[in-house]
Structure 1
């Protein structure tokens, strides 16, 4: 597979997942601001922008819901926003048109065409719901129409790395907001995990168990450990181990942070949750850089072979 095609597939997976998870995160936090009359809107919005690695205005400039939505939801020119991620996913699909299924291309193209009519509705929740539905359609088409070859591996690798990173950001916002932030039940619902959580623990819920479910559950697709494990499986499928004494850089970054979560007491992780989630984000960024350097080094110099013209 050409490196430019592999890169486009990887970023399709990341951008679609980014739009989905950003919609979930914004939906939760904007709902909290609406329901809590005592919420410090400016501080909450600055914290959210900081967690999402977006620059914040000077302290003397007030930030509210409108500014956060403009930056994280409606900016079509920034791949860090919902609209920008959907635009970027469609552009990468256009570049990889020869290897993706017709259904996947039509779904991403239809999402791009419908985007202007769904932006800036009277209720932002309607926009977030539409984004989640479109991301679910894309994910279903990937699972149903793509052979389990390199095409599928790069798509799911990008999606898994992005999911682990974004779930870590969601949990970090909960930790930084303290008692004024969304409760664990709200976070479970935002990830579509509430019913699965209740079935797992037979309705005996607690904050510690809810946190552990989103962090460590090995069967729920949106937990951090599950996403890291799936990313590792995709990397193993792309290049089976030849030298038994070494391991790929991307797999090393993901494996270290995954085992750090899996084999430590949950109470220790929760005591330093912001730090632990920052480590997950750093590992995902390092793994993404390692994948980029190994499979699609765009900065490689061009060398001419044959007669100089």
Structure 2
């Protein structure tokens, strides 16, 4: 496979998952933000933007600016619209590899971005529309593409981004003023019903944190996403060595997963910011390692990458 095609598929997975994750984070914060006094609204909007890895444009950055920055700004891949646009552009470049259903799903979604109001209510509906569209796009990828090497790159990008976005979502619990309840966190991840069925009577904050971090069977938990990334990396480079790993990305992802899995669950809440920062750094380092291993190209031929 050409490295440029592999890179496009990897970033399709990442960008679609980023749009999904950003929509979830915005959705769970919108109602609370809209009810805050103006001064606190500005503070929390700036904090939320910082959790998402972006910087405010002005000192009086408020809710309207946040909605534009995270939902509608097509010039930045940090936003939902920007991420979906970047995914569509990468699919266009890999048009001979992606299925027609996947391409049409991305293309239709791109043209539907303009049909939404940009106020709080419109953004709330926009987030739910994005969740439906990204679920459909991921379904097309899973069911209409052969699960060969090309699909593994797409799945690898999706898994790394999912671990990163779940970590960012959990970071909002402690980083924002008047932190969100864990019930809302579980709903944000689509995990509330699964959590209740799994834990039954035990439904405290510590159990919710454990579930979103460590559950090996729930697809949006960080451990599950990191395990999926490990499997994709193993299938892309199945060579075995008696000592260590030849693939830096697999080593980085494996270390992050094992650190969480073998950590004392009782310490999770008190050390949550540190854990989430470590997960985000590991995902970024693994992405860089994948780029070095599979996508290395001369600078003057480089045409794709993460917009920040």
**Band the TM-score falls in, shorter-chain normalisation:** over 0.9
How far, CA to CA, are the matches of 2:39 and 2:195 in structure 1? 28
- What does 1:1-309 correspond to in 2, within 5 Å? 1-35=1-35, 40-57=40-57, 61-118=59-116, 120=118, 122-177=121-176, 180-247=178-245, 248-299=247-298
Comparing 102-111 with 61-70, which one deviates more in the overlay? 61-70
- Under a length normalisation based on structure 2, what TM-score does the superposition of the two structures give? 0.93
Unaligned runs of 5+ in 2: 302-308
Unaligned runs of 5+ in 1: 303-309
Q: 1:148 deviation in Å?
A: 1.4
Cα pair distance change 1:242/1:265, threshold 3 Å: closer
How far, CA to CA, are the matches of 1:300 and 1:72 in structure 2? 29
Cα pair distance change 1:244/1:39, threshold 3 Å: farther
Q: Is the 8 A contact 2:48 2:176 kept in 1?
A: no
Comparing 49-58 with 256-265, which one deviates more in the overlay? 49-58
- How many pairs were matched up? 299
* SS of equivalent to 1:100: coil
Larger radius of gyration: 1
* SS of equivalent to 2:200: coil
Q: State the partner residue of 1:305.
A: none
Cα pair distance change 1:76/1:243, threshold 3 Å: same
Q: Is the 8 A contact 1:33 1:39 kept in 2?
A: no
How far, CA to CA, are the matches of 1:7 and 1:299 in structure 2? 14
Once the two structures are superposed, residues 46-75 of structure 1 have per-residue CA deviations (whole angstroms, 9 ceiling, x without a partner) of 1111111111245xx222210101111110
How far, CA to CA, are the matches of 2:299 and 2:67 in structure 1? 38
Once the two structures are superposed, residues 234-260 of structure 1 have per-residue CA deviations (whole angstroms, 9 ceiling, x without a partner) of 000001023231311001111111111
- Under a length normalisation based on structure 1, what TM-score does the superposition of the two structures give? 0.93
Comparing 281-290 with 138-147, which one deviates more in the overlay? 138-147
